[in-house]
Structure 1
């Protein structure tokens, strides 16, 4: 009988979206805060004027509700996530996110108390001069702690943004600019803090500001009755202890609930069996991915176990009928990859009975994959251009050559192909015998990819002509190449085994490009390029011969353009 779980009030997708949105709100707050600090490089007056705009945004009722609502939602969902993690064995990236996130409250509670809480409880208005004077001169230890907090918060936020955006096609083009911004902003903020601190250190305390974090609004210094001031200070201290106690209590509660759940689940365990004969006993409710990590079994999970990819998918071979129905996140991913019956995402599947699974992307022979490993270049579909290049009649060309001469000739040929590809913005994928495969468009638009592939082909043709002139007296016949170029969607990712694992592409687009290189040999042409590629590149097709050719596996013929060595120069 199939077990169907009752739909929760809030789906996992909506909770993750809430966590993301709340994190982005806090990151916007931190970005504006650091930008305000950086204004100290201009002057303290500029920073103070910037602070007025900053407080106008965040210290009104709406801004306060948005900011502290985001903080409450984010912390609550983080605690929930910490509780739901059945095992704390996780990849280093996930562990760093958790550790940095838990450090943040401990590092900033004092700063929040000294600025925002005093403002709310005592009517004291903080100022840049008062804050920097306190942190730089009166309490440099606090200043060091706040600087560390700044770096921790910013790093935590940037890591989260990176893993949120890393699968977007445009992200790799924007990544260098985002990385520059991510490095410069905290550096400029710290420089502004230090620059103003050195200036204030050489100046006397101004009576209008006094020392400490804050000054009274509409009053000089703390001109209030001593009893009233003591009462307000007690309220501030109570708020401080409440924040620390509340955070510590939440952590203790989470781990207490985890411990209680662990004790109760020890008597209610199921078995997850793997194809290598491994059996992992886990409490009912654990995910298959968590079982793999507990059992030390290599299991890919590129997205970190969030259901955003399918690299952790498994084929359930026993116990299919007892599986809970997939929730929306898992079902969406399974539909996208066209998964067969019995295929589930290990990170989302929480079996309720004993099952046997086969991880589909972790061959049993690949023992070198560490537990919880994540590929640097996970597979993704991308619009690229593929170039195949091969020497025609290579056997006839080299049959009378000494082995040393053959190696020399091939290395000269590989060098000119590699340089032509790299100068045109492409990447040499591999050399196979006397052939080469190159990828274009990994970091650019499809239009640029097509133009660059044609440019590389023209450069190769020109360099082969020069090489023939150089080696005219040493070769029985001129070197001639056949080049095939096609563009379209392909699956790009790090593939291979062990140390022989490289970024490559697979798919119909690659097969067609390889076929066009063979057609170039058959037609005695230098370059054969598909019509979609040459049109996407915006190249002139006047005076170029075209014809339709049959492609194995395709119902419709493909129109191609035939380019000779002489006419290839138009693409240079």
Structure 2
């Protein structure tokens, strides 16, 4: 039995981590003021203290710290195996080591002032930290560990968001510069202590430090530090001991190749796979944010825990049958036999994991589908070489039109093409880019017809479909044929619109939704409602005979 649901635990971990991250970011900013002067650091410290040493700030900070640590221990307790991706392992190592690195600083900066009634200012803090080379090294390592843990936690939370690619470079830059400025401010502030620093040697003088303000009995301070060390070590050790107790019960998870993972009751199928060394796809890292780890339960489903809210939402979204569960969320209470639905080898997942978008993300994109009308009849009267040459010129027109407008070619299909807009831009911009590509494509086909006027019995004619909406974008395929592509209802709808353009002898059929998101109006063109297979509602569509005329209603392009 668990008191809190998995979703509630995740939210608590996230909220407490966000509060601690805010504290760390402000503290690092305070350190970086050392690049200006000691006075700037001290002024920043007063504001910082006003916020975080107030009663609400203190409750928030230490409550978040305790909650975050307890959630980390809970996560450690629930792990069946310590086999995990490197990123997750580093986050855990950094997180569990932080208390031991920060205890000396916390005792000197918070506990001693409470006992003496005298708060330390920044010069005193810097002299204390620089009193020994060991103290300086420990403070530097603690700073780097704190920031690394915060960045890894933020990355695990942000990487699956559809807005992350747009701000990825900016976020990585901030993640790199923040600790650099904090360390430079820390060093510059210590070196700018001036005559006192110079007179007392490279790292100061511990006797001198002790004269700066009333100090508690060194033995008492050491006992306090040891008590903290013992407390945190006991919590971690106790967690590891409890998770190893056999009283929790054992179950067996069987796989189709005959392998069996024996795990403690209460742990997930994904953890069972990792414990047994069985490859198991999990793009989101076991957080229930994707469905790549899903398994089909072929024996032992009766009597198992029902899916919680997050798992149920994902399974409903993909239309999974009742015997399909997410391996990262499914925690069997009795023996079970499962079949992983996505195989790591047959889908080339090992290669995909190394790529930025390999795991797949849901994005809101604009999609362009185009095709040549009656090209088969044209090709019948041409030599194979001439046909290939003409197609390559046509594909070049498509590529130039799409790429110059800000999109990417997904694939060429016979004499058709699929292009995607919005992988790096917001949806309104993507819709305008798709319309701009359509105008360029229409003009390019006219130029191509003029070039081959004497060789074509009839001019090349395009049919284009445009639509916007959500799609799954990721690396798909097999072996060398793996590439970045998109799938989903939005792609199917764009393809249907391209067919609609052919039916009405027009060059373009574009959904009203895409036009409205682009901030344009096509009043004066033919508008109709079409029915789509699998949809009850109709799709409002504009029919445009000459796509090049859209340039009249579009803003000028840079």
**Equivalent in 241, 245, 249 of residue 260 of structure 1:** 245
1:536 pairs with 2:539 = no
Q: Counterpart of 1:155?
A: 148
Q: Counterpart of 2:551?
A: 569
Per-residue deviation, 1:556? 5.5
Q: Counterpart of 1:191?
A: 184
Q: In 1, are the aligned partners of 2:352 and 2:358 still within 8 Å (CA)?
A: no
Q: Counterpart of 1:513?
A: 494
The alpha-carbon distance between structure 1 residues 199 and 541, as it changes in their structure 2 partners (threshold 3 A), is same
**Equivalent in 392, 406, 411 of residue 425 of structure 1:** 406
The alpha-carbon distance between structure 1 residues 185 and 147, as it changes in their structure 2 partners (threshold 3 A), is same
1:500 pairs with 2:477 = no
Q: In 2, are the aligned partners of 1:545 and 1:561 still within 8 Å (CA)?
A: yes
The alpha-carbon distance between structure 1 residues 201 and 553, as it changes in their structure 2 partners (threshold 3 A), is same
1:434 pairs with 2:427 = no
CA offsets 1:6-51 (integer angstroms, 9 cap, x no match) = 5x33333333322222211111111110111121222221111111
Per-residue deviation, 1:135? 4.2
The alpha-carbon distance between structure 1 residues 326 and 525, as it changes in their structure 2 partners (threshold 3 A), is closer
Q: Counterpart of 1:221?
A: 212
Q: Counterpart of 1:383?
A: 364
Q: In 2, are the aligned partners of 1:307 and 1:347 still within 8 Å (CA)?
A: yes
Q: Distance in 2 between matches of 1:248 and 1:347?
A: 29
The alpha-carbon distance between structure 1 residues 518 and 203, as it changes in their structure 2 partners (threshold 3 A), is same
Output aligned runs, 1:135-284, within 5 Å: 135=129, 138-200=131-193, 221-222=212-213, 232-261=217-246, 269-284=250-265
Q: In 1, are the aligned partners of 2:471 and 2:489 still within 8 Å (CA)?
A: yes
Q: Distance in 1 between matches of 2:533 and 2:473?
A: 22
Q: Distance in 1 between matches of 2:337 and 2:356?
A: 25
Q: Counterpart of 2:466?
A: 485
Q: Counterpart of 1:326?
A: 307
Per-residue deviation, 1:431? 1.6
Per-residue deviation, 1:98? 0.8
Q: TM-score, normalised by structure 2?
A: 0.87
Q: Distance in 1 between matches of 2:56 and 2:94?
A: 28
The alpha-carbon distance between structure 1 residues 206 and 358, as it changes in their structure 2 partners (threshold 3 A), is same
Range 403-412 or range 39-48, more displaced: 403-412
The alpha-carbon distance between structure 1 residues 96 and 476, as it changes in their structure 2 partners (threshold 3 A), is farther
CA offsets 1:118-173 (integer angstroms, 9 cap, x no match) = 2223344323223334545x434432332232222112112212222334444444
The alpha-carbon distance between structure 1 residues 554 and 105, as it changes in their structure 2 partners (threshold 3 A), is closer
Q: In 2, are the aligned partners of 1:375 and 1:494 still within 8 Å (CA)?
A: no
The alpha-carbon distance between structure 1 residues 439 and 212, as it changes in their structure 2 partners (threshold 3 A), is farther
The alpha-carbon distance between structure 1 residues 555 and 323, as it changes in their structure 2 partners (threshold 3 A), is closer
The alpha-carbon distance between structure 1 residues 11 and 280, as it changes in their structure 2 partners (threshold 3 A), is closer
Q: Distance in 2 between matches of 1:397 and 1:358?
A: 50
Q: Distance in 1 between matches of 2:63 and 2:82?
A: 28
Q: In 1, are the aligned partners of 2:73 and 2:239 still within 8 Å (CA)?
A: yes
SS in 2 for 1:488: strand
Q: Counterpart of 1:289?
A: 270
Per-residue deviation, 1:332? 4.5
Q: Counterpart of 1:350?
A: 331
Q: Distance in 2 between matches of 1:191 and 1:65?
A: 31
Q: In 2, are the aligned partners of 1:527 and 1:564 still within 8 Å (CA)?
A: yes
Q: In 2, are the aligned partners of 1:293 and 1:372 still within 8 Å (CA)?
A: no
Q: Counterpart of 2:32?
A: 38
The alpha-carbon distance between structure 1 residues 25 and 206, as it changes in their structure 2 partners (threshold 3 A), is farther
**Equivalent in 90, 104, 129 of residue 110 of structure 1:** 104
Instruction: Say how many residue pairs are matched.
Output: 550
Q: Distance in 2 between matches of 1:441 and 1:39?
A: 39
The alpha-carbon distance between structure 1 residues 26 and 323, as it changes in their structure 2 partners (threshold 3 A), is same
Q: TM-score, normalised by structure 1?
A: 0.85
Q: CA RMSD, aligned part only? A: 3.3
Q: Distance in 1 between matches of 2:147 and 2:269?
A: 33
Per-residue deviation, 1:109? 2.1
Q: Distance in 1 between matches of 2:72 and 2:273?
A: 23
SS in 2 for 1:125: coil
CA offsets 1:382-433 (integer angstroms, 9 cap, x no match) = 4322101223333444456555554444343333322322332222211222
1:92 pairs with 2:86 = yes
The alpha-carbon distance between structure 1 residues 14 and 295, as it changes in their structure 2 partners (threshold 3 A), is same
- The answer for unaligned runs of 5 or more in structure 2 is none
